Each structure stands twice: as C-alpha cells, then as structure tokens.
Amino acid sequence: MDLVIVALLPFVLALIAPNFVREFGRKPFAWLLGAVALGQFAWMTTYIPVLIAEGPLSLTLPWAPSLGLSLSIYLDGLSLLMTLVVTGAASAIMLYTGHYFEEDDPAAIFYLRLLMFMSAMLGLVLVGNVLLLFICWELTSILSFLLIGFKGKYEASRAAGMQALVVTGAGGLALLVGLLLLGGAAGSYELRDILAAGDVLRAHPWYPAITILVILGAFTKSAQFPFHFWLPTAKEAPTPASSFLHAATMVKAGVYLLARMYPALGETALWETVLISFGLFTFVMGGALGLRHTDLKTILAYSTVSQLGAFVFLIGLPESIGLKAAFVGIAAHAMYKGTMFLIAGTVDHSVGTRDLSRLGGLAPHMPVLASIAVIVGLSKAGVPPLLGFVAKETLIEAGLEVPFLTGLITVAVVTGATLSVALTLVFVIETFFGKMRDEELHIHRPEAGILTGQAVLAAASIVFGLFVTDLMKPLIQFAVGEEIKLVLFPGFNLAFGLSMTALAVGGGIYALRGLRDAWTRIPLPSASDAFW
C-alpha cells in the first residue's frame, strides 16, 4: 500500500499547490517538494534488499474484472530503478522550479501540472496491469502537452505542445491496440502473467502485429527516428519541464516499455532487427543534428534523442547483453542531462539568452554554475571517475559482444559516443569559457537556491561513479535478472581504448570549427515542417 502512496502523493500535493503558493510563496513550496521527493527516493531504496531477498512484489485490487482491468502494483528491479530516477530527478527539479519563476509568473499552475505529471509517471512504472499502464501513458502525454504549451500566449509554445501531443498520442493509440492484442494472446492483462508467457507470445500468430504496435508506441514516446522531431521542438517548454520530461523521465517511458516487454517479446529476429537498426541510426543522427544548432536547449534535445537511440539499440541486443549498459545509461543520463537542461535555463534566466552565438566567457561571472557544468559535462563525455564513464564503457562493451555485424555496430557505437563528446564540448566551452561574443549582455549571478538542485545532481554523478559497485550494482543486477560485473575501471582493454578514442576524436571535431560551420550550412529536409 505504501507504493500506492508514493505514486499518489505528488497528485495530492498538486491539489494544494495553488493555495500553498498563494499563502506561503513559491520558494517555501519548492523546498517542501524537494524534501518530499527526496524522502520518496530514500523510502524506495529500502526496497532493494527486500526485492533481492524475496523477488518481485505485486498487489492486485479488482476494478473492472469483466474488462480485465485491475488496480495492480508490480515492483521489480526495473520498476524500482525507474522510480528512483523519477523521484531523484524530481527532488532537484522541484527545488529549482521555485527559484526559476519570477514573482508575476503563474508558478502555482505550473507546479500543479508538473506534480500531476510526476504522479502519472510514477504510476506508469509501478502499475502491474497493462491497461492501467496505458491510462498512465496517455496521462503523461496530455500533461506533457500542457507543460510544453505552458506559455500558451506564444504561437511557438502552442505549436510545440500540439506537435508533441499528436505524435505521442498517435503512438499511444497504436500501443493500445498492441496491448489489447498482447493481453488476448497471453490470456491476461497482468504484467506478471504476460512476462511469464514469453514462449507462448513469441509463437503466437499475433506476435508480429503486437511487437510492431508496441514498438511504435515506444518510438513515438522516446523520440526515435522518424518520430524524433517533436523533442527538439519541445524546447519551448519552461526549463524545469524540459529537464524533468525531456531528459529524466517521460522520454524514457518508451525505453522503459521496451525493457519491460523484453522478456515477453524480445529474442526474435523482428525485435532485434528493428531496435538495433533504428536505435543505432537515431544514436548517430541525433548527435550529428545537434552540431547544427546554437540554441542550448536544442543542442541538449538532439543529444537526448541520440542517447535514447543508444538505449533502444541496447535493449534490442540478443541474450540480454545490452540491458546492463541500458540501465546504467538511464541512471547516468538522468543525472547529467537533467542538470544540463537546468544549466541552460539558468544561463537564460541570468543572461537573457541561450544562443551560443552571443554567449561565452560566463565562468568568471558564474563560477559555481561553470563548475557544475564542467562536472556533468565530463560525465556526459565519459571521463572517469564519473558515472557517465561507466555508462559509456558498458555501452561500448555491449557493442563489442554482438555476435553479428560486430565491426559495423562497433563503428556506429563509437561514432555516436564521439559526437556526444563534441556536443558536450560545444555546450560547456562555448558557454562558459573564451570571450563573450555579445558584449552588451547584462549578467546577474544566479541565487543559491537555483543552484542547489543542480549541484546535488552533479555530485551524484561523482558519488555513483566512484562507488558504482556498492551503490549501483545491486540494483542494476536485480533489474537485469542475472549476475553482472560492474566496476569503475575494467582495465586497459579494447572497450577502454575505443572510449578514449571517442574522447580524442570528439575533441578534434569540436576543434574543427570550420567543419562544423560547413555542416550547419548544408540544407537538410525538416521533419517538423513535413509534420505540419
């Protein structure tokens, strides 16, 4: 029952948000929400030894039995990992939000929507019935629409929200049909029954239709090619929404769904071909497209598209060889990318622009923010001893273990990692170092409250990297379902050599400014324009 409370508590807080903010102000509410989310995170960590000792936990309450609908909770290693990602990121982002908005901004309404989204996302990863999962899935799409289009007086915000809703909503309809077929083929809509029916489902004549429909739903939510275009457009959302939805949580819902369905639908040629090919292409494409832009949030959005592609690729690998890397990557990505979106918002808030053609040299004016940016940038680039380094090492290791097309896949993986390094250098160096390009910009230092959450997430990248075996291995191992090796430094092997190669070549791409400028001038078709 306490898991139900964890999922519904943000919804209850959302109901009191307008009155609380009106009576006490947005900053005290921000500290309250940050403390509550941190408490939820701490509470969920107590389940790690319980799950290791007892296995997955489930609770089922009948709701509409004739429809196969029940109020079910299902907690295993994967759902616990995602719950920790949601609550951990929320603890920093909720605090940030109270200091991000100005006095005359409708912060209470934003909090109401953000908290409802958090509740829907927690429900999505904790429910044990796939029809209830679909309800939470659609709630995240609707609330994402309301958050992306929060500045509704601007046409760009309205258009971005509508685009995200149409794309993810259409994918949701495909998912609904896939889940109905899945439940029919398995004889149950309960997750525990579906996960145990993998052999039956893979042999079922409906299997191809089920798999394609589920993948379509996941691809639209997690911005995989050719549905990637809605995520960069969603930069119109206020920064806390961008960080929470488009880096830490919602865009990982599709990745979560694929990982969740791996025991039931994975290990087939259809599954592996679609996820590996589309995931790898998205991984490389996202990084390449990010180098064409100067808006900080657009760069981060394309970088997120790229990382999501890497996770999809890893889940598509046979014999579970990519799951460890996917789960470590999901945790590391929430820490560094969530922070980088907050950094972009802080720069915009303090300087009045997030356009790299005008920025530069901010480090002397914002030394704390610059230090945070360097830390999370090093993690994203995959530099030891941060958690991002472990994530990159495990990604490359998984690529090297593929029993087919090993060379081609390894080249694609290293290329994606290289572009990630180049994007990181663009973000950090051209924002905080060198000479400011627009001397007329007025800078005011960000207050301590807006930096606190970012500093916590940056510190987490260091702590979880240094102590990855003690802090991450038990959870990741249980999520994977088998014994794994997870260490900070695996030794001077081929994976480490390729990782260092990605760092060096990524640095070279960054240094070749003329090459990057030429790439931005090459005309490319716009998927967003094609959508409209």
Tokens standing for residue 284: 């490389």
> Amino acid identity of 357?
S
How far is residue 520's CA from residue 509's CA, in Å, rounded to a whole number?
14
CA distances from 511 to 8, 367, 380 (A): 49, 24, 18
Tokens standing for residue 62: 């009948």
The SS3 call for residue 64 is: strand
- Is residue 175 a contact partner of residue 216, using CB atoms and an 8 Å limit? yes
How far is residue 496's CA from residue 299's CA, in Å, rounded to a whole number?
27
- Is residue 275 a contact partner of residue 222, using CB atoms and an 8 Å limit? no
CA distances from 227 to 242, 257, 286 (A): 18, 17, 12
First-to-last alpha carbon distance for the chain, in angstroms, is 45
Nearest to 486 by CA among 478, 495, 476: 476
How far is residue 143's CA from residue 141's CA, in Å, rounded to a whole number?
6
How far is residue 411's CA from residue 376's CA, in Å, rounded to a whole number?
25
Reported pTM? 0.94
- Is residue 40 a contact partner of residue 87, using CB atoms and an 8 Å limit? yes
How far is residue 92's CA from residue 108's CA, in Å, rounded to a whole number?
17
Tokens standing for residue 203: 């042999």
Q: CA 444, 447, 449: angle at the middle one, nearest 5?
A: 155
Q: CA 18, 19, 22: angle at the middle one, nearest 5?
A: 85
Per-residue pLDDT of the chain (532 residues; tens, 9 = 90+): 688 888 889 999 988 888 888 878 788 888 999 999 999 999 999 998 888 888 888 888 888 777 767 788 999 999 999 999 999 999 999 999 888 877 656 778 888 999 999 999 999 999 999 999 999 999 999 999 999 998 878 888 899 999 999 999 999 999 999 999 999 999 999 999 999 999 999 999 999 999 999 999 999 999 999 999 999 998 888 888 888 887 778 889 999 999 999 999 989 999 999 999 999 999 999 999 999 998 999 999 999 999 999 999 999 999 889 999 999 999 999 999 999 999 999 999 889 889 898 898 899 999 999 999 999 999 999 999 999 999 999 999 998 888 766 778 888 889 999 999 999 999 999 999 988 887 778 888 888 888 998 999 999 999 999 999 998 988 898 888 888 888 888 888 888 899 999 999 999 999 888 788 888 888 888 888 888 8
How far is residue 342's CA from residue 450's CA, in Å, rounded to a whole number?
9
